[in-house]
Amino acid sequence: MHRRTLLAAAPALLAGPAFAQDFPSRPIRILVGFAPGGSTDVFARALAPRLQAQLGQSIVIENRPGAGGNIATEAVTRAAADGYTLLLGTIGPLAINPTLYGNLPFDPRTDLTPVSLVGEVPNVLAVPVDKPFRTVADIIAAARRDPGGLTFGSSGIGSGGHLAAEQLNLMAGIRTTHVPFRGGGALLPELLAGRVDFAFTTALNAVPNAEAGRLRVLAVPNARRVALLPDVPTVAESANLPGFDGVDWAAMMAPRGLPAPILARLNAAMRAVLSEPELVQAMAARRLVLQASSPEELGAYIRAEIERWAPVVRASGARPD
C-alpha cells in the first residue's frame, strides 16, 4: 500500500477488532447542537447517566449551539470514528438543513453513521388565549381573509416548528408571516404575550401553559393522535388536510466509518437505556416519547425525511440567517 493510503486507513486500523473489544476505555462526549434547557438537551442529560451505567465510562454532554445545529453536526463529522464523539442530532441538521443550506459542509447521509433513533419531540399548534382561534380551520380562514397578516413564531429558521407552519401554508394554500426566535425559550414568552398569532412549539413548553390557562392547544402536527395527548386532534383532522405530518425527532449519530463492533455496542446500549421503564415514564411526564431503532432503520428514515421535507423547504423560500 502507498504511504498516503496507509495514513488514510490508520484510524480504521486502530479501531479494529482488538480496539473495539476494549471499547469504551475512556469518557465519551455527546455533542448537542442547541443551548441547555431545550428538548434535545433534556434527552441528552436524561440518557447520559444511564448510558454511563451501560458502558462503564463517563458520558460528557457538550452543548455547541449555532447555525441550526450545524456547528455540532460538522464537528462530529470531523471527529475520529472511534465511538468517543457522538451527536444527539435532530430533524433540523439531519433532515431539513441539507435543503435549507445551499453550502452545507456535510451530508448526513454519507458523513455520519446512524446509531439509533432516540425518540419523538411532540409538537403542538398553540395560540395565545386572547386570540379568537379555536381550531386550525379558524387560523386558515383568518389567513385567507388577510394574506400575510397572521404571524407564526418558531424556535429558528429551519426548525421543525418553522417547517410545520410552512407545510400548513403550502397544503392550505395560505400565506402567514414567519417570526423566528433564537430557541424555544425565546419563543415562549412572545407566544404567551400574544405578539405572534400561533406557533408549532414543543408540548414540553406548551401543555403546562395550556393547563394553566395561558395558551390554547389546537392540534398536533402528527399523522396520528399522540398517545400523550389523546384528546388533541391532528392538524389533518382539525383542518381537513389529509397527509399533514410534521413529526419532530432526535437521533444518536457517530462519525462516518465507525467500526461495526463499536456500532453494535453503542446500539445495544441505546436500546437498553431507551427501554428502561423509569426513563420512559420520566420522559412521558415531560411530553417526550422514546423510540429506539437499528442503525439501518435510522439511516433509511433520515434519507426519507430529507426527501419529504425538501419540497416544503423550497416552497417556503426560507433562507438561513
The residues spanned by each domain of the chain are 23-120+248-316, 123-239
Instruction: State the pTM of this model.
Output: 0.86
Pairwise pLDDT comparison (132 vs 34), residue with the higher score: 132
- For 23-120+248-316, which CATH superfamily applies? Bordetella uptake gene, domain 1 (3.40.190.150)
**For residue 241, is pLDDT > 90?**
yes
Pairwise pLDDT comparison (181 vs 253), residue with the higher score: 253
Pairwise pLDDT comparison (60 vs 288), residue with the higher score: 60
Distances (CA, A) of 149 to 30, 53, 293, 305: 42, 52, 42, 30
| 313-319 average pLDDT score | 85
Please tell me the predicted confidence (pLDDT) of residue 274. Answer: 97
162, 178 contact by CB (below 8 A) = yes
**For residue 18, is pLDDT > 80?**
no
Percent of the chain scoring above 70 in pLDDT: 93
How high does pLDDT run on average in the chain? 91
Please tell me the predicted confidence (pLDDT) of residue 20. Answer: 63
Do 23-120+248-316 and 123-239 come out as alike in CATH topology?
Answer: yes
Cell triple for residue 18?
482488538
Distant-in-sequence, close-in-space partners of 184: CB < 8 Å, separation ≥ 6: 38, 39, 155, 161, 201, 202, 205
179, 318 contact by CB (below 8 A) = no
245, 222 contact by CB (below 8 A) = yes
CATH code for the part of the protein at 123-239: 3.40.190.10
Q: Give the span between the Cα atoms of 264 and 114, in whole angstroms.
A: 11
| 12-39 average pLDDT score | 77
Please tell me the predicted confidence (pLDDT) of residue 19. Answer: 54
| Least confident range of 9-13, 205-209, 239-243, 247-251 | 9-13
